[in-house]
Amino acid sequence: GAGVSQSPRYKVAKRGQDVALRCDPISGHVSLFWYQQALGQGPEFLTYFQNEAQLDKSGLPSDRFFAERPEGSVSTLKIQRTQQEDSAVYLCASSFVRPTRDSNSPLHFGNGTRLTVT
Amino acid sequence: GENVEQHPSTLSVQEGDSAVIKCTYSDSASNYFPWYKQELGKGPQLIIDIRSNVGEKKDQRIAVTLNKTAKHFSLHITETQPEDSAVYFCAAKRSKLIFGTGTRLQVFP
């Protein structure tokens, strides 16, 4: 079966360029998450969608980061005016049910997009 | 907010030996604790999870224990094999999943 698909796998951008990273979650998964993983670190939460609604964007590091999921399936993470500190692997994950305090559905991760800003 | 600490950062064992990775968390309201395995160039893959109303869970060679009072949980891998070599992450969840910093496990044949 198809898992979470992310594209592109690698992206090299010159400082100041805008980039767009795509995530195709598992079909039927309600929840979608974006994480940023710096080299040698654990994934850090960026933002969360339940269907098309962005319910938590507390992890976005600056207003240069923007995410959307207009039809409740595919999501795009956009980074404007990229900086060298944006270099990282960007991971997308999806889960079947919406996460509540009493409901925990496993997150299924894609293989990520490795962004290098030169 | 939640903070998750993970030890050790690297772990080398001989094939067939056991490996133990330990994590502590700060938010006593956290109620879900998954463990992920990440191989080079891939995303994290869930290997086992435990909920706060359970003290121990086992799945073949992998087991996880949870001590809610002390706010720590551990991953135990028995009879390690070279294919167990990877980076392992613990995580804790109250409202969102917070990851530890990872343990690089190397299993030597």
Q: Searching chain B, which residue's CA lies closest to the CA of residue A4?
A: B43
User: Which pLDDT belongs to residue B84?
Assistant: 98
User: Which pLDDT belongs to residue A103?
Assistant: 60
- Classified as helix, coil or strand, B83 is helix
Q: What is the DSSP letter of A103?
A: B
Alpha carbon A43 to its chain centroid, in Å, reads 11
- Kindly report the nearest CA distance between residue A80 and chain B, in angstroms: 24
pLDDT-based confidence at residue A1 (cuts at 50, 70, 90): low
- A56, A101, A111 ranked by CB distance to B94: nearest: A101
How far, in Å, CA of A20 to CA of A71, rounded?
A: 17
Residue B43 to residue A41, Cβ atoms within 8 A: no
How far, in Å, CA of B58 to CA of B38, rounded?
A: 20
pLDDT greater than 60 at residue B6: yes
Residue A48's nearest CA partner among A77, A18, A6 is A77
Note the pLDDT tens digit of each residue in B68-105: 999 999 999 999 999 999 999 999 998 889 999 999 99
The answer to whether residues B43 and A34 touch, using CB atoms and an 8 Å cutoff, is: no
- A104 — contact with chain B (CB < 8 Å)? yes
The answer to whether residues B43 and B92 touch, using CB atoms and an 8 Å cutoff, is: no
Note the pLDDT tens digit of each residue in B42-70: 999 999 999 988 899 999 999 999 999 99
Q: Which two tokens stand for residue B25?
A: 């968390």
**B17-33 burial: b if 16+ Cβ within 10 Å, else e:** eebbbbbbbebeebbbb
**A79-91 burial: b if 16+ Cβ within 10 Å, else e:** beebeeebbbbbb
Those residues with Cβ within 8 angstroms of residue A55's Cβ, 6 or more apart along the chain or in another chain: A48, A49
Note the pLDDT tens digit of each residue in A8-54: 999 999 999 999 999 999 999 999 999 999 999 999 999 999 999 99
pLDDT greater than 60 at residue B10: yes
- Kindly report the nearest CA distance between residue A78 and chain B, in angstroms: 20
Note the pLDDT tens digit of each residue in A66-118: 999 999 999 999 999 999 999 999 999 999 866 565 567 789 999 999 999 99
How far, in Å, CA of A86 to CA of A64, rounded?
A: 10
The answer to whether residues A92 and A23 touch, using CB atoms and an 8 Å cutoff, is: yes
User: Which pLDDT belongs to residue A99?
Assistant: 58
Those residues with Cβ within 8 angstroms of residue B107's Cβ, 6 or more apart along the chain or in another chain: B12, B13, B14, B15, B19, B80, B81, B82, B83, B84, B85
The answer to whether residues A18 and A82 touch, using CB atoms and an 8 Å cutoff, is: yes
How many CB atoms lie under 10 A from the CB of residue A27? 9
Q: Which residues pair with B97 in a beta bridge?
A: B93
B96: chain A residues, CB-CB within 8 Å:
45, 48, 56, 99
pLDDT greater than 80 at residue B2: yes
